[in-house]
């Protein structure tokens, strides 16, 4: 079992930056997938960024603006978000896949004002 706790979401103006963090209840070294998803009101949850067997991936909408990273010593996966846009407004969720099972955090709200 893995518990995930996200933090860092808040209200920010367009063009600003935020850093989201997700801390796991157990060591994340060796997790198959570390990822951030987001869900905007009225829309489906979508993958934003992921680390899969050491390779990073980004959805086109955030390429060049968002950076996903991991800190194995702190059991943390982070999402640095720069040049934020109003369309980035959503609840952001941390997701990990380990031992044949996926785990979700509770989500953190990011609101970008224009």
Average pLDDT, stretch 23-39?
86
Tell me the average pLDDT across 76-82.
96
Across the range 16-26, mean pLDDT stands at 93
User: What pLDDT is stored for residue 66 in this prediction?
Assistant: 98
Query: Percentages helix, strand, coil for the chain, rounded to the nearest 5?
Result: 10, 55, 35
Return the pLDDT at 29. 67
Q: Report whether pLDDT(57) > 90.
A: yes
Check residue 28 and give its pLDDT: 72
Task: State the burial class of residue 114 (Cβ atoms within 10 Å of its Cβ: 0-12, 13-18, 19+).
Answer: exposed
Q: b vs e for 47-86, b when ≥16 Cβ sit within 10 Å of the residue's Cβ? A: ebbbbeeeeeebeeebeeebebebeeeebbbbbbbeebee
- What gap in Å lies between CA 108 and CA 7, rounded to an integer? 6
Report the pLDDT value the prediction gives residue 46, as an integer from 0 to 100. 98
């Amino acid at each position: 079992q893995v518990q995930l706790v996200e933090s860092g979401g808040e209200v920010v103006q367009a063009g600003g930056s935020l850093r989201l963090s997700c801390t796991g209840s157990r060591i994340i070294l060796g997790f198959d997938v570390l990822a951030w998803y987001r869900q905007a009101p009225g829309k489906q949850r979508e993958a934003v960024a992921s680390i899969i067997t050491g390779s990073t991936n980004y959805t086109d909408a955030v390429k060049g603006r968002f950076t996903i990273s991991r800190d194995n010593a702190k059991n943390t996966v982070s999402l640095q978000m720069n040049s934020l846009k109003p369309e980035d407004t959503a609840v952001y969720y941390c997701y990990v896949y380990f031992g044949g099972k996926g785990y979700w955090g509770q989500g953190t709200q990011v609101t970008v004002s224009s």
